[in-house]
Amino acid sequence: MLGETALAPASATQTEPADFDEFWTATIAETRRHPLEVTVQPHDTGLAVIDVFDVTFRGFGGTRIRAWLRVPRGASRPLPGLVQFYGYGNGRGHALRDLRWAAAGYAHLAVDVRGQGHGDTDDDLPDGGPSAGGFLTRGLRSPYEYFYRRVFADGVRAVEALRGLEHVDAARVGVVGASQGGGIALAIAGLVPDLAAAIIQAPFLCGLDRAADLSREVPYSLLAQHFADRRTEVATALDTLRYFDGINHAKRAQAPALLSTGLRDGITPPETVLPAFHAYAGDKRVALWPYNGHEAGGELDEQNAIDFAAALLGAQRS
């Protein structure tokens, strides 16, 4: 694997709520009360070797979440699959945005983050709705109201949606993401016990009790400003964040995982990423890029990811 690597250091410790597992079990159960109702519509892109479909499914609160499904045309079925999540303020984008996973032989589900993506909507939020400031600070007064509760539940449903498609091998489905997407992928690896792989680049939402001190960049700077503006609410906000911290989710994750981080990353500092790696319960490896920032290994990370996924998921190669 390209880049300096490390394997399975001793586990890190991280304060977690006593009812962490009960909270997430109840959240996923509440989400599943709504039928998944996956819709798949062909989307014409003019491509000759990849088929693209416009997909929707119901996430937390019954909200319709949108995604692109890309599959290699003519490949043997059933296909291994990857669910991809995107960075802060981002979503699935254009239908032609990201073709490499389908080109590598996977059923690739590129998922919007609610409120951030391509024409996505949000449910009736108890914490003020889309105009209530940054996503990172929305609903911090309670884990039940926090924005990422809905996002993580949506991610679990995205895995279920891809697994339910007839041309996908449900036993060979993994998750992938960078930055916010990496943080979501890490959480889903903890919430879905039987994933086949997790590919996590420069993950956001890790070490949240330290991130506001370490980073002066958006989005973590929004958290520091929130604490500065609401001095008496800091303890409550930190209690909420512990339900969403990637370190606590990593302790429960079993899928073989590839992480990466740039050691000069000011957006998701390695001091927040590496404790999540140390805490990760499953087989794991990390690529360290000493002179890189939030881009980490860039295209070399992508090459590592393709090799890692192929070894675990067995995508067809011509």
Taking the C-alpha atoms of residue 1 and residue 4, their distance in angstroms, rounded to an integer, is 8
Q: In sequence order, what are the beta bridge partners of 40?
A: 55
Taking the C-alpha atoms of residue 73 and residue 85, their distance in angstroms, rounded to an integer, is 23
- What is the distance between the terminal CA atoms of the chain, rounded to a whole angstrom? 22
User: Catalytic residue positions?
Assistant: 179, 265, 294
Residue 7 token pair:
């394997």
